[in-house]
Amino acid sequence: MWMQQQNKTFKDWLWPFWPVVPIYPYSQRRTLRQEIISNTIWTFEQLQGIFYVVVPIRMTVIKLAQGGLLVYAPVAPTDECIRLVNELVEQHGDIKYIILPTISAVEHKVFVGPFAYRFPKAQVYASPYHWSFPLNLPLSWLGFPPDRTYILPKDSSQVPFADEFDYRILGPIDLGPGRFAEVALFHKQSQTLLLTDTIVSVPTEPPAIIRLDPYPLLFHAKDSAFDLMPDNLETYRKGWQRICLFALYFRSSVLEVPPWGQVFRNALKAAEKSKKAYFGLFPFQWRDNWPQSFAALRRNGEPFVAPILQNLILNRAPQETLAWADQVAQWNFRQIIPCHFDVPIPATPKQFRQAFNFLEKDSASNNNFIVIKDQEFINDLEMKLEKAWLLPPAQPKI
């Protein structure tokens, strides 16, 4: 009986197309639904990551005034996810619209086709300027239903959900081999702004979806391969905060990588040598002041633009980005729902706009010495990509 229940659970979490984007947690994806606004907005969270650097990936579902539902940025349509969505469908009507709000993030794009086929009455609206790598294929070749997939027009009044929503499209921003674009969607009735990647807020505590399987938190809470961490909230918090530094800086200034000879020698004496623990390999060494870097990154929970987007993407088109931010800041939203990290983010249009001040001359937004130091790895990466002609040069600040 236990084995039958376990197999049923694994089937509920199964994502068979994981080899298309082979990142953790691979074929087994759990889904957590959260009600953001009573009877109006729900989020569906799953996990994604590499080397246990895991962060939430989020889909948002909004009830339409005339009945039915709108979906922004679908996640993997596992049986568990679809069952949780169908519970809302039974109460509020069919899914009418599915929005793909990005063109470059394959971890969002890969789910749209399979999700849409589970809801055959839904119209799919994709961000314009789509591209794919290594071959630039039409959306229908990527699994999007051709008879009901449309491109979002530049004029937001031309879509059938315009009475309840407004949107502004950022981009496309030329990145050499590819492009970046994002659709900011505003739900007028709830005063909620939906974003994909441009804005994040980092919580001190690990998100609930990660605590469902806390092994990544335990792994990154270790100080050495010899540690076996206690399974408690303090360990979870430590592991999560280090994961945030990994995810947003790639390699923070407070992280050192020991010589690989030492890493392999330590693995022989590691407290845990299982395949799950990478056979004891732990190539990380944190300096004692790492909590200061996390505090500087977190900015007391304020919304900010991730360093990767600041230094590798949005600074390629500062004028266009600021014009988009100005347009979005005209909406009277009171909270932001991004696709990653914390949710919801209490934020005013002024706070949203201030997050993009790094693109302006004489801005004080990046004058924090700790933040500047932690961004050095990304700055070096930027220079290398530009020298290799893989990234166009950054444009002057406005």
C-alpha torsion angle, residues 32, 33, 34, 39 (rounded to 10):
-170
CA distance 57 to 76: 10
Question: pLDDT below 50 — which residues of the chain?
Answer: 1-6
* Tens of pLDDT, residues 363-382: 766 567 788 899 999 999 99
pLDDT given for residue 177 in this prediction? 80
pLDDT given for residue 44 in this prediction? 98
- Contact indicator for 106, 131 with CB cutoff of 8 Å: no
pLDDT given for residue 268 in this prediction? 94
Rg of the chain's alpha carbons, rounded to an integer?
A: 21
pLDDT given for residue 20 in this prediction? 87
Report DSSP letters for 166-199, one per residue: EEEEEEEEE-SSSEEEEEEEEETTTTEEE-SSS-
pLDDT given for residue 134 in this prediction? 61
Amino acid at site 258? P
**Hey, which CATH number is domain 2-201+308-354, 3.60.15.10, 3.40.50.1260, 1.10.1040.10, 3.40.430.10?**
3.60.15.10
> 273 vs 213, 227, 351, 353, CA distance in Å?
19, 11, 47, 48
**Domain limits, the chain:** 2-201+308-354, 208-299
